[in-house]
Structure formats: structure tokens, C-alpha cells
Amino acid sequence: MYVHVRKSGNNRYVYIMESYRNSEGKVAHRTIEKLGRYDVLLKKDPQFLEKLRNNLRLRDKFPRYDNLEQENLWLEQQGLNIEAPEENSLAYSGMPVYVYSNRVLRHIFRKILNLEYMLSYMQSQSSESFDFTLSTLIYHRILAKFFSGSDCVQGTLYTLIGDSFDLKDEHAYLMQVRTIIGSQQERILSYMLKKASQNANLPEIAVALGELNATTLNNFLTSLNTVRQDEKNQLLLAGLQPFLARLTPHPARADLSGQSFLNEFEALVTKAMLEIIRKALLKQGTDYSLTEIERALTRACMTVYIPPYNASDTLYIKLSNSYTGLNNQILSAFGFEAPLSCSRKNDLQRALKIKYCSNREILGDAVYERFVIPDPSPDQTC
């Protein structure tokens, strides 16, 4: 493979090309990937062309090892376990950058806060039928709040391990999502308060709830007083009273619109997730601020080497940086393992607890279709 810069109109474009012999035995050339305008890429990284050429040279001489440890050692010797920059940059040598810390957030969303079940139940109770899954759309919007400044974002496309998505494709359903969420404000607040009391920092979450919408919170507390309370709810209310007292000087606001409540509900879930991670780290004897935790999550990145005709040999290469240690602690706190410097699919699935699937499902359709050339022996599902 080699780099080719071609002029088209008033601009120059960068391509990755490959030489091959056609059916007549003659040398021919084909385009593997179009990377974009030369001037735009050069502005983002003045050394991108040199880095790209060096990476392609390494790919061309990449050895095949039966032993994964030998393969990892070779990659480290070649400097492929590179340091990730602290700010956004060009995707590494034209290959996409993935975040893998989303596996922790997925675990919290589904297993700890149990929001997937709650939102799915709410959707099932609606008299209307929908062409989307409410819990998936809200989960993706929350991920977008976490990773908006990460290298994994390309326009509206977010590339996360096992969960890539394009916000543009999901925007068409936004009005329906707002309607469902807006009609269930008190129910959602009730649910979040109970979950926060069990798993997160209740004082912080309670104050945040009151500041978001004092009227809805007070309505919720009033409604609780009219029904029989179990011991857990009584303890919850008792724990909330000191923090509700702080809110009384603030003027009560009217119930939020569906749009406003959706945005603030997502912000609340984001804060609860960070508090849950901090609490888990404290149990391990380490204390980090929410800002440090959030910054670490956005920098848990890896890039991939995808052989154009054999996606089953895809390699997932971790990008080390100053937050790698903290990310390893976060993964460990929730029962995951730190990915190897260079992983094949099975190793990545084992470390991040991804149930058996194909490389296509891990990479996402958009990346797979962009980088993998159709072949008689496509990547097979495990």
C-alpha cells in the first residue's frame, strides 16, 4: 500500500492505494481509502503524511505470529502502542479511533441504574407503536454527552467498542422521545432518587434534582405521602429532608417541557454515573474528582488495524496516555480487565465482557463498510 495525492478541481485529495495484478496478469492500482482534502489534513497535523507513510510501511511488513505475546512484543518494538494526544487530532493514520470505557457506562446504565428495563417498560405502556427503542436512543444521547470532545467523534458518528452510532440517524425520533419522557417526569424522578440512594451520592443527586425542577420534585414528595410507604422509602424521605430544606429559598419553577426535561434528565444520569464510578473507586482506596474521572473516560481510546480483505484478523491497539492507569482502575472496579496493548477479537471480548459477536458488530456498520472490501470469505459471527 502507498499514499497518493491527487488533484481534483481546485483541491488535492489524499488516497491510500494498493498495487495488484489483474485477471490479465498486468499490474494495476486500486483505491483502498479516500482520507480527505490534503490542506485540511495538513492543518490538523503538519506531520500527518509522514506518519501515514510510516504506518503503511509497518502494515506491509506486519508479521504473522501464532503466539499473541510475540505479536504484542513486536508491536511495542515498532512503537505502535503509541501515546495518545491530550486533544483531538486526526484519526491515527486514517484509521478510526474507538473508546472502550463505554463498556463501564453500559454496565451502569443497564445493570446498576437498570434504566434499560425502566425505559423499555415505559415505552411498552404507550398506546402508540414506535420504530425505535427508547432506552437505546437515550443511552446514545448520554454517551454523546460524555464523549463529545473525544477522538472517537467524526462529525455525528461516534465510534465506541461494540456500540457505534450516528446521532444524525436517530434525530428523526427526537420529538417522540421527548413526548414519552416529558409525560413521565415524576415517575422518572422517583426512580432516579431510589437508584441514587442505593448506588450514588444521594445528597449530590438530591440537590441536583431539586435545582433542575423544584416543582416536580415537590409534587413527587407530596404524592409519596399519600400512599403506604415501605421502610426503604421512609428512609429515603428522611435522608432527603436536610437537602430539600436548602431548596426552599429557591422559587418553584413550572414543570419542564419535554425537551428541557429530556436534556436535564440525561445530565442527571450522567452525574449519577460519575458518582457511581467515584464511589466504586473509593471502595478500592482511591479518590478522584468527577472531572478527573470524566476526563479519563474520554481518553480510554484504541485504534484498529483492519486487513482490507480479512476482517477476522482485525487488531485492536490500545493508545496509552496519562489516564491509562486510572482507566484500568475504573475497569477493575466494575469487574472488567484492562485490554492488552494489542488484542484480537476474542481477547477484547474476554477483557471487556462483550458477548460473542463478529468484528462487524464490534466496529459498527459504518466503519466496517468503509474499510473492509467485500471478499468471498467474509468475517463470520462467533
pLDDT tens for 149-170 read 788 888 888 999 999 998 888 8
What pLDDT shows up at residue 209?
55
pLDDT at position 109 is 93
Task: Write down the domain spans for the chain.
Answer: 1-61, 84-382
Tell me the pLDDT of the chain averaged across its residues.
75
In this structure, are residues 138 and 177 in contact, taking their beta carbons and an 8 Å threshold? Answer: yes
Q: Is the pLDDT of residue 367 over 80?
A: yes
* pLDDT 10s digits, 50-94: 877 776 665 555 454 444 455 556 555 554 443 333 333 334 456
pLDDT tens-digit profile of 97-131?
899 999 999 999 999 988 898 888 888 887 778 88
Grid cell in block for residue 298: 474520554
pLDDT level of residue 32 (50, 70, 90 thresholds):
low
pLDDT in tens, 248-288: 444 334 444 545 677 777 878 888 899 899 999 999 999 99
Q: Give dist(CA 226, CA 308) in Å, integer.
A: 64
The per-residue pLDDT for range 219-238, each reduced to its tens digit, is 555 554 554 545 555 555 55
Angle between helix 258-283 and 134-147 (nearest 10): 70
pLDDT for 86 equals 39
Q: pTM of the full predicted structure?
A: 0.65
Kindly tell me if the per-residue pLDDT of 183 is higher than 50: yes
d(CA 333, CA 337): 9
Residue 143 has a pLDDT of 93
SS3 letters across the chain: CEEEEEEECCEEEEEEEEEEECCCCCEEEEEEEEEEEHHHHHHHCCCHHHHHHHHHHHHHCCCCCCCHHHHHHHHHHCCCCCECCCCCCCCHHHCCEEECCHHHHHHHHHHHCCHHHHHHHHHHCCCCCCCCCHHHHHHHHHHHHHHCCCCCEECCEECECCCCEEHHHHHHHHHHHHHHHHCCHHHHHHHHHHHHHHHCCHHHHHHHHHHHCHHHHHHHHHHHHCCCCCHHHHHHHHHHHHHHHHHCCCCCCCCCCHHHHHHHHHHHHHHHHHHHHHHHHHHCCCCCCHHHHHHHHHCCEEEEECCCCCHHHCEEEEEECCCHHHHHHHHHHCCCCCCCCEECHHHHHHHHCCCCCCHHHHHCHHHHHHHCCCCCCCCCCC
- Kindly state the percentage of the chain with pLDDT values over 90: 22
Q: CA dihedral defined by 70, 71, 73, 79, rounded to 10 degrees?
A: 160
Instruction: Please give the Cα distance from 358 to 108 (Å, whole number).
Output: 24
Find how far residue 68's CA is from the centre of its chain.
27
Averaged pLDDT, 232-249: 51
